[in-house]
Amino acid sequence: GLIDGIIPEPLGGAHRNPAETLKAVKEEVVKNLQILKETPVEELLRKRFQRYRSIGSGIVEGGVSL
């Protein structure tokens, strides 16, 4: 799958400290929603298109880019 980032887990894993886990998730969601709100729709669409068009472009087999 594809990801935009990694949310760090508390020491021992998310199940050991659900409150800290939820806090980290909330911070990431709020941050990303703010970015989305501030970015024009056309720019969001352009970036998304470019991102998905470039998937796999870095795969190289036998010295030849696939």
Tokens standing for 1?
Answer: 């799958």
Q: What is the pLDDT of residues 23-53, one digit of tens each?
A: 999 999 999 999 999 999 999 999 999 988 8
- Other Cβ atoms closer than 10 A to 7: 13
Q: How far is it, in rounded angstroms, from Cα 41 to Cα 39?
A: 6
Across the range 12-29, mean pLDDT stands at 96
**Who wins on pLDDT, 23 or 1?**
23
Q: What is the pTM of this model?
A: 0.69
Q: What pLDDT does 36 receive? A: 96
pLDDT band per the 50, 70, 90 thresholds, residue 65: low
DSSP 3: -
